[in-house]
Amino acid sequence: MKIPLILICVLLSAASMRAERLNVVFFLVDDLGYHDLSLTGSEVYETPNVDQLAADGALLTQAYAAFPRCVPSRYAMISGVHPSRAESEGERLTHMSLERVTIAEALKDHGYTTFFAGKWHLGKSEDRYPSAQGFDVSVGAGSAGAPGTYIAPYTAEKNLSGPEVLNAPQGEYLTDRLTDETIGFIEQNGDEPFFVYLSHYGVHTPLEGKSEKVAYYEKKIEGIGFESEQFAFGIDGRRRVNQDNAIYAAMIESVDESLGRIVECLEKEGLSENTIVIFTSDHGGLSNSGSENKRPLATSNSPLRAGKGHMYEGGTRVPVVVKWPGRLEGGKSLQFPITGMDYFPTILEMLDLPQRPDAHVDGESFVPGLLGRESFNEDRSFFWYSDTGRRRSTGDFNAAVLRKGKYKLMQFFTEDKVELYDLSLDVGEDNDLSNQLPEVRSRMLEELIEWKKSMSVRDKQQSKKRDY
């Protein structure tokens, strides 16, 4: 039988389009600090698979979370909208509006099959879970910010949803299970373009690691022999001084192994050169606690100041590694700043898809920076705002922050004070320049005040209770 030439051309064209369309794996870790990787200087934690991903791609050294807590940060990543804007419009971040367009919905519009596994934390009921926000497949997602346990049998009271997860065999490790589910999806859907959002519960509390890994790190930490005290006390609350928590180290290794297994699966399926991989965290590591918080602290973010919950660099700066086959040269270290809202437009541009400025209203693509544009984002203004300071929990204050260029201005509402830092010289935020540089202080404070007006937010001395 002869096949008409025009049909052959159509079939070849369709096959070519499928071959050229890139897949995306977005690999998100919970509560992982910037320095919680061997890649970024840890002498305790071992992350060879993240290191290899960076060798094949690029490490972004000045990447930020949109907020130093889970829910607002995750909201920004998936929507491209600043959490302050969403709340000023009356939206509850833990009950994401179905009208809000997510990156998953945008990709589905272009024929992508979408998959979510792990921590969701953006919906209080099943009608607001990932399946209602653009994901074809959702595994292990629920309303909770943490599992009751990482070791099966898992507990339903923490809303770890789905019988396929709750019916796990005795002793199974949750990080491994989410990885298994993700690999299964890739193996079954590799013939068509896909978007994978693997959102690990690890390394959030409860701190539970595999016993053999914990034993290994206990011995390693003992061999290092840290000289300073384990905890320090100051204006930022109780702070862990060293990365000397063996359980946390074991949890990080398990997450790193998960990444390695995903990359290995892509290679096995012949998808390695056709898949973008983005690795990041939702905010800084849990290093500080307030006056009434007795939970174990996970890590130290040193030399960055403070950690989860705080507007200092330890709370907002996160590791980001990007692998973009064929476009991004491996082994790069890129210094331009980005924020959580930027992933949505960036992924669209990487896939050569039209932007959705009606959706990702606060995000900007950082593709030009990845491809080497000099001075990228050098003069861009980055804003943070919190009226949920938790002095008793993580030790942080209500504040608004502006970073522009090398300067970072912090306005604290509860103490009515302003701090100014030159991050190019003082990444640890030890030297307040607000009195030495009054012109910079005044200029940046004026810009911050105007931004707050545009977002309809106020300088609240009393922390507002929110469900995140």
Please tell me the predicted confidence (pLDDT) of residue 395. Answer: 80
Whose CA is closest to 310, among 389, 231, 383, 204? 389
Residues 6+ apart with CB under 8 A from 443: none
More confident residue, 267 or 4: 267
Helices (H), 200-342: 211-224, 246-268, 313-316
Note if the bond before 203 is cis, omega within 30 degrees.
yes
- CA triple 17-23-27, angle to 5 deg: 175
Q: In 3D, which of 78, 73, 79 has the Cα closest to residue 361?
A: 79
Query: Which residue, among 40, 53, 28, has the nearest Cα to 300 in the 3D structure?
Result: 40
The least confident of 17-21, 395-399, 457-461 is 17-21
pLDDT in tens, 142-201: 888 898 899 998 876 555 655 556 678 999 999 999 999 999 999 999 999 999 999 999
Q: How many other CB atoms are there within 10 angstroms of residue 349's CB atom?
A: 15
More confident residue, 15 or 448: 448
Q: Which amino acid is at 261?
A: R
Of the ranges 2-16, 199-213, 424-438, which one carries the lowest mean pLDDT score? Answer: 2-16
CA dist 20 → 189, 336, 358 (Å): 16, 29, 27
What value does the mean pLDDT of the chain take?
A: 91
- Domains annotated for the chain, with CATH where assigned, are 21-370 (3.40.720.10), 381-455 (3.30.1120.10)
For residue 347, pLDDT over 90 is answered with: yes
Flag whether pLDDT at 387 surpasses 60: yes
Residue 105's pLDDT is 98
Q: Which two tokens stand for residue 286?
A: 């849990």
- Torsion of the alpha carbons at 410, 413, 414 and 415, rounded to the nearest 10: 60
Within a 13 Å sphere around the CA of 208, how many CA atoms are in the beta-carbon half?
A: 16
Residues 241-297: tens digit of each pLDDT: 999 999 999 999 999 999 999 999 999 999 999 999 999 999 999 999 887 777 789
pLDDT for res 202:
97
Look up the pTM and report it: 0.93
Task: Please check the confidence at residue 7 and state whether its pLDDT lies above 50.
Answer: no
Mean pLDDT of the 89-99 span = 87
pLDDT tens digits for 410-432?
999 987 899 999 999 999 999 99
| Model confidence at 18: pLDDT above 60 | no
